[in-house]
Amino acid sequence: MSELANHNDAELILKLYDLRREAVMREARKFVAEFWPKSVDDLMALAMNPGGNELAYFRQVAGYWETAASLVNRGALNRDLALDNFGEMFFMYAKVEPFVGAFREKMGIPQFLQQVSQLIDGSEETRERLEAMKKMQAEMQKRMAAR
């Protein structure tokens, strides 16, 4: 367990929350919520369409969570407080995690989602949380397909 959160941690969490409410970020988050890659090829297709809003949206959300995770990994934000509030990071990462390694290799970007990966790989608790999110997403996809 990390040290107790302090007033600065609370302010930073509230600032991060406020950034998520920005209009373009809301659109970006909506896109990521609806994006269900089935292979690394889906991520590659997204990356190879630089003129589309989809890539910009994905980069905005991924960049946001990379920044937030980096604040935790570098000690600027209390880990426990952050993880209490980073559920959406797990949701986003669970969708792409099976393809991250191949995507990094194919694109020559070894640092792609590196901070998020480091934060999630940092403990058994967070690894279990990721696996639980993957199971929940698989169930969501089954339900959507059954409609």
Contact by Cβ (8 Å): 9, 85:
no
Rounded mean pLDDT, 32-39: 95
The candidate with the shortest Cα–Cα distance to 58, out of 73, 42, 38, 39, is 42
Read off the pLDDT band of 2 (50, 70, 90).
Answer: low
Q: What is this structure's pTM? A: 0.92
How high does pLDDT run on average in the chain?
A: 95
Read off the pLDDT band of 50 (50, 70, 90).
Answer: confident
Q: Is the pLDDT of residue 1 over 80?
A: no
Contact by Cβ (8 Å): 19, 65:
no
Q: Is the pLDDT of residue 80 over 80?
A: yes
The DSSP H or E segment spanning 2 is: none
Each residue's pLDDT tens digit, 90-147 = 999 999 999 999 999 999 999 999 999 999 999 999 999 999 999 999 999 888 888 8
pLDDT at 144: 86
